[in-house]
Amino acid sequence: MNWTLLFFIFLAPAWARRSLSATSLVTCMENSQITPSYFKVSFDADNRALRYNLDLNTDISGKVTAHVQVFAYGFVVIERDIDMCDIGWKQFCPMYPGSMQIESVEYINKDDVNMIPGIAYTVPDIDAVVKVIVINQDTGETVSCLQSSFTNGKTVSQVGIKWATAVIAGLGLLIAAVMSTFGNSNASAHISTNAVSLFMYFQSVVVVSMQHVQRVPPIASAWAENLAWSMGLIRTEFMQKIFRWYVQATGGSPTVYFKNVDKQILVQRAQEFASKKTEHDLDVRDLDFALNSNRNLRVLRGIKRIGYNSHIEPTSIVVTGFTFFVLCGFLLVAVLVFLRSGAVLLIRMKAMNPNRFSHLRKNFSTILKGSLLRYLWIGFPQLVILSLWEFTVQDSPAVIVIAVLFLITAIGIICFSLYQTWRYGKLSIQRHSNPAAVLYGDSKILHKYGFCYTMFRAQKYWFGTVIIGYTLIKGIFIGLCQGSGKASTLVLFILDLAFTIFLFIQKPFLDKSSNIVSYCVAVVTTVNSFLFLFFSELFGQPAQVSSIMGWIFFIMNAAFSLLLLIMILVLICFAMLSRNPDSRFAPAKDDRTSFLRQSSVKRSSRNLRGEDKAANELFALGAAAQDHSDDWENEMHRLNEVETSSISSRSHSRDEKFASVNEISSPAVEVEGDDDEPKKTAVGKFKDKITRKLSTKKNDRNMRLSDTMKEEEDAHINSDSLTNINQHARAGSESGFSQYSTNRPTQGKDIL
């Protein structure tokens, strides 16, 4: 207990510390007679000490009065006039033309400290601004206007949030890949769809924050910084040194904002043109966010602001994104090669069943290509935006060449994959009246190009083209319109709104839950684009509106991100803790199960015994043969009960049937035989033969569905894949499948 008290006694001062600081001072009027070169101020409310380090150039001569305003979220919280001579600041009483270098400590009156509200020390990423209007006492003329944003050191940008979001999103994709390797196609499709939606949502938050807007509230900017990893913007100290050297060695001029303290960096305001306000039209209760950039101040916006907040030099942003994209791709290949090599080694050492991972070993080349294509699909927004933006900033000739290669490669490969998907879908419709027949029946096509269509219903296999086109148009406006924030925000809002409406109309994803998740992601993305219309000051609204919109942006996205992360964790738990993961997810609203190879049933049956094995087979059969009703899960469990009670009844009914046949046919022709043996008719011999076969079946009541399928597969192993697909055609249906005839899937008897 004593140690606990000591712990709280020592740490309480650190937790309760109240401080404010500012590192940038800018002019807020034209022809200001005070020009700051360096500015650093910190205030400790506990000891009321104000420490400041200033480097100013002034043209003022005489005594001045400072009209001080403190804004919090656009609202004036403190406003008063201060005479520099009355407070004893001799450096400013009077002021003389020339350069002023001041480094000192002043102790503020307790009454003035009490005027600062306590919330200023606790709210993270506080949107607070100090504005000072300098007035010449002799002439009454406004001679200067200075403005500075300050912070309390607390922020929502946390390393823990970055790691949590990255690990959970990556874990979802990894578990989906593992489920696919073990043949659990239904579970893999659901987890993969939701994990990709989560990843694309994270990217959309960063993409919308990359827009060149006039002002991004600190809370919104800090939250976007948490998700910058999804676009490859990850700081590594030794890599940043290599990137600076590479840019300089290839003919570029690398920036050194983190090494050079001669310039002030301002990232919350985004406009670099000069303000047109003068002392005649300066409103003392207005905030001016159209700030000046000069030789001592650099105002960053858009992509540069995101990079700087991630502690990446502006000239290293593009190469950082490209490098981490390639490194993650190599890591993916290494993991797959390690799994395959490990399986082969364990089998040769006779430490593992040779049938384990057979699917991965036999189709490794196709699975590897499909995994890389899916990875390229996820990184497509990152490559497009960074490549196009490089054409405008031109860090170095070598980086431009790399950007061209990445852009052509990404667009070319993705477009070719989408074309192949469309071609096979059309071919399947022509031959089988259903796109799922070839797209899901041919394992090579499924493993290689499945990333383009497995997320969607079979009839909406083309919807991947819509998503890529939507992403490409957004990337063009983000990468090439960094000089016009109002134009890009308006176009992106219209584009997001149109995509959301089209998504609601088409309902393309594989089941109802996946559609709901995609609807929510699209709606939140559209609302984010709408909020950035205010951040760009397209409507000319007061500063209070933008500050409030910033908090709406943070609360909405933080809550939605938490819900998506929890959902992914729940899906992962369902998949990992269930004996048959496919039974935990509703089947897709199409006929893909009728054409998928039943490898999951065969592999899982080897590891089960008795009733568990029979239940596993019934689950797979129910997934393929049920009629997609809302009560699908209860139907699958009911099949197990029906099967148990029907085994004995089937054999009993067959015995009665043949007994009745024997009674009716007993007066048949007799066959001569030995006198010692009883004479038998031809029908009697037939009855004995059938009875022996039935008794053999009774002794093997655990006969498996997978064994029957195995015999059929061995009998037709050399046949053409499209011919095998045609054998699954629905009985009694001319046109084939759901979009063209009925919503009922292929009957179970066709599978058997």
What is the pLDDT, as a whole number, of residue 557? 95
What is the pLDDT, as a whole number, of residue 661? 42
What is the pLDDT, as a whole number, of residue 56? 86
What is the pLDDT, as a whole number, of residue 284? 45
Q: How confident is the model at residue 291 (pLDDT cuts 50, 70, 90)?
A: low
- Is the pLDDT reported for residue 275 higher than 50? no
Q: Which residues pair with residue 49 across a beta bridge? A: 44, 107
Q: How confident is the model at residue 294 (pLDDT cuts 50, 70, 90)?
A: low
What is the pLDDT, as a whole number, of residue 638? 54
Q: What are the pLDDT digits (tens) for 443-462?
A: 888 888 988 998 898 889 99
Collapse the DSSP code of 525 into the 3-class scheme (helix H, G, I; strand E, B; otherwise coil) and give the result: helix
- Is the pLDDT reported for residue 272 higher than 80? no
Which range among 338-347, 473-482, 735-744 has the greatest average pLDDT? 473-482
- Is the pLDDT reported for residue 598 higher than 80? no
- Is the pLDDT reported for residue 121 higher than 90? no
What is the pLDDT, as a whole number, of residue 596? 67
What is the pLDDT, as a whole number, of residue 88? 73
Tell which residue, 143, 94, 153, 147, has the closest CA to residue 122: 153
List C-alpha distances in Å: 127 to 79, 130, 537, 581. Answer: 17, 10, 17, 48
Instruction: Compute the average pLDDT of residues 642-653.
Output: 50
Q: How confident is the model at residue 327 (pLDDT cuts 50, 70, 90)?
A: very high
Q: What are the pLDDT digits (tens) for 143-195?
A: 888 888 888 888 898 999 999 999 999 888 888 877 776 666 777 888 888 88
What is the pLDDT, as a whole number, of residue 416? 95
Q: How confident is the model at residue 529 (pLDDT cuts 50, 70, 90)?
A: very high
- Is the pLDDT reported for residue 679 higher than 70? no
Q: What are the pLDDT digits (tens) for 385-409?
A: 999 999 999 999 999 999 999 999 9
Return the higher-pLDDT residue of 257 and 396: 396
Residue 105 backbone dihedrals phi, psi, to 5 degrees: -130, 130
Domain ranges of the chain: 19-150, 590-623
What is the pLDDT, as a whole number, of residue 300? 83
Residue 66, sorted as left (phi over 0), alpha (psi -120 to 50) or beta, turns out to be beta
What is the pLDDT, as a whole number, of residue 266? 61
What is the pLDDT, as a whole number, of residue 741? 39
Return the higher-pLDDT residue of 165 and 36: 165
Instruction: Compute the average pLDDT of residues 519-545.
Output: 90
- Is the pLDDT reported for residue 4 higher than 80? no
Kindly report the CA angle at 745 between 740 and 746, in degrees rounded to 5? Answer: 105
What is the pLDDT, as a whole number, of residue 180? 72
- Is the pLDDT reported for residue 672 higher than 50? no
Return the higher-pLDDT residue of 374 and 648: 374
Q: How confident is the model at residue 267 (pLDDT cuts 50, 70, 90)?
A: low
Q: Which of 26-30, 68-72, 288-292, 435-439 has the lowest mean pLDDT?
A: 288-292
Report the predicted TM-score, pTM, of the whole model to 2 decimal places: 0.74
Instruction: Compute the average pLDDT of residues 349-361.
Output: 78
List C-alpha distances in Å: 132 to 53, 98, 106, 399, 431. Answer: 17, 20, 18, 44, 77
Q: Where are the alpha helices (DSSP H) in 536-609?
A: 543-577, 592-595, 599-606
- Is the pLDDT reported for residue 55 higher than 60? yes
- Pull the structure tokens for residue 134: 């300098």
What is the pLDDT, as a whole number, of residue 54? 84
- Is the pLDDT reported for residue 92 higher than 60? yes
- Is the pLDDT reported for residue 134 higher than 80? yes
Q: Are 36 and 27 in contact (CB under 8 A)?
A: yes
User: If you average pLDDT over every residue of the chain, what do you get?
Assistant: 76
What is the pLDDT, as a whole number, of residue 245? 92
Q: What are the pLDDT digits (tens) for 464-480?
A: 999 999 999 999 999 99
**CA 200, CA 559: separation in Å to the nearest integer?**
17
**CA 198, CA 205: separation in Å to the nearest integer?**
11
What is the pLDDT, as a whole number, of residue 297? 67
What is the pLDDT, as a whole number, of residue 183? 63
What is the pLDDT, as a whole number, of residue 476? 94
Tell which residue, 704, 701, 730, has the closest CA to residue 624: 730
CATH class given for the domain over 19-150: mainly beta
Return the higher-pLDDT residue of 256 and 650: 256
